[in-house]
Amino acid sequence: MHKKLCLIGMLSLLTLSGCGQQEEKKAEAPGSAPAVEQAVQEAQKAVGTALQQAEQTISQAAPAVEEAVKATQDAGQAVVKEAGQAAEVVQEKAAAAVEAAQEEAASLAAKGEKSVAELAAPVVAEMDAAQAQETVVLVNNQGKITLSHRKHGDAHGCAACHGEQTPGPLTLGKEAGHALCLGCHKEKQAGPTSCTQCHQKKTAAVEGC
């Protein structure tokens, strides 16, 4: 009997002890929630701190980035400006060279025209004087030959007697004179064709000579 009572007592103590431990665990279980909440808060705080540091880093780097962008833009503008200035210089030099060449060409042309005019002036004056002469006298052993210079010039042109060369004093030998004058008279069937009609020693030349 006594042993039974002892066993019952021990079982009761064990039961009470187990219930106490369960109560303690139940009491401790609700206490874990603040720890989790605290951990979450600390994590949020850490994230906020990291974000603040990132924003600060970006804020500090922004001026350097802006300065680099501005420097790049300035360098590009400087290159464009230099290229434009170089192009203007090339255009100005080209225009100056063209203008100088035109002036030189005009100067050479003026000098050339003046030179030609100066060289031609005496010849032109002589031609004008020769054309202005009414008659030309050719001295010959068989008697001088007097011909109407203006009439021959107007009718046949300078080249008929003077050839393609510049007209000047006419000198003819016997054969050249006969071929030129007699040949033309016979071809045109006008003017004198005999010796005495052209070669005059005392009397005037026959009309048409």
70-111 pLDDT tens trace: 888 888 888 888 888 888 888 888 888 888 888 888 888 777
Report pLDDT for 128.
65
* Four-residue CA torsion sign, 10, 15, 16, 18: positive
pLDDT tens-place string over residues 79-89? 888 888 888 88
Q: Considering only CA atoms, which of 138, 131, 125, 143 is closest in space to residue 170?
A: 138
* Residues 137 and 95 occupy one common structural domain: no
Range of 179's domain? 133-198
Report pLDDT for 114.
67
* Residues 109 and 148 occupy one common structural domain: no
Residue 207 lies in a domain: no
Q: Considering only CA atoms, which of 84, 85, 82 is closest in space to residue 74?
A: 82
CA–CA gap between residue 151 and residue 131 (Å, rounded): 10
Residue 165 lies in a domain: yes
* Residues 150 and 189 occupy one common structural domain: yes
Residue 209 lies in a domain: no
Tokens found for residue 53: 């540091």
Residue tagged 């605290």 (tokens) = 38
Is the pLDDT at 23 greater than 50, yes or no? Answer: no
End residue of a domain, out of 117, 132, 147: 132
Q: Three-state DSSP class for 140?
A: coil
Report pLDDT for 202.
62
Please answer whether residues 207 and 190 qualify as being in contact, where contact means their C-beta atoms are separated by less than 8 angstroms: no
Residue 49 lies in a domain: no
* Residues 115 and 137 occupy one common structural domain: no
The residue among 126 and 25 whose pLDDT is bigger is 126
* Residues 139 and 118 occupy one common structural domain: no
Neighbours of 198 (CB within 10 A): 26
Report pLDDT for 87.
84
DSSP state of 200: B
The residue among 118 and 129 whose pLDDT is bigger is 118
Residue 18 lies in a domain: no
* Residues 97 and 144 occupy one common structural domain: no
* Burial classification of residue 185, based on how many CB atoms lie within 10 Å of its CB (0-12 exposed, 13-18 middle, 19 or more buried): middle
Averaged pLDDT, 147-173: 77
Which residues have C-beta within 8 Å of that of residue 140, sequence separation ≥ 6?
Answer: 199
End residue of a domain, out of 106, 132, 158: 132
Tokens found for residue 12: 């009761």
* Residues 126 and 138 occupy one common structural domain: no
* Residues 80 and 124 occupy one common structural domain: yes
* Residues 91 and 105 occupy one common structural domain: yes
Residue 34 lies in a domain: no
Residue 144 lies in a domain: yes
Is the pLDDT at 28 greater than 80, yes or no? Answer: no
Report pLDDT for 95.
87
pTM for the model stands at 0.33
Report pLDDT for 203.
52
* Residues 157 and 123 occupy one common structural domain: no
Number of structural domains found in the chain = 2
- What is the gyration radius of the CA atoms in the chain, in angstroms? 67
Residue 20 lies in a domain: no
Report pLDDT for 13.
55
Among 13-27, 63-77, 110-124, where is mean pLDDT lowest?
A: 13-27
End residue of a domain, out of 103, 132, 161: 132
Is the pLDDT at 123 greater than 50, yes or no? Answer: yes
Helices of type H across the chain: 2-28, 32-132, 149-156, 159-162, 174-177, 183-188, 195-198
Quote the mean pLDDT of the chain. 75
The residue among 157 and 205 whose pLDDT is bigger is 157
CA–CA gap between residue 175 and residue 94 (Å, rounded): 65
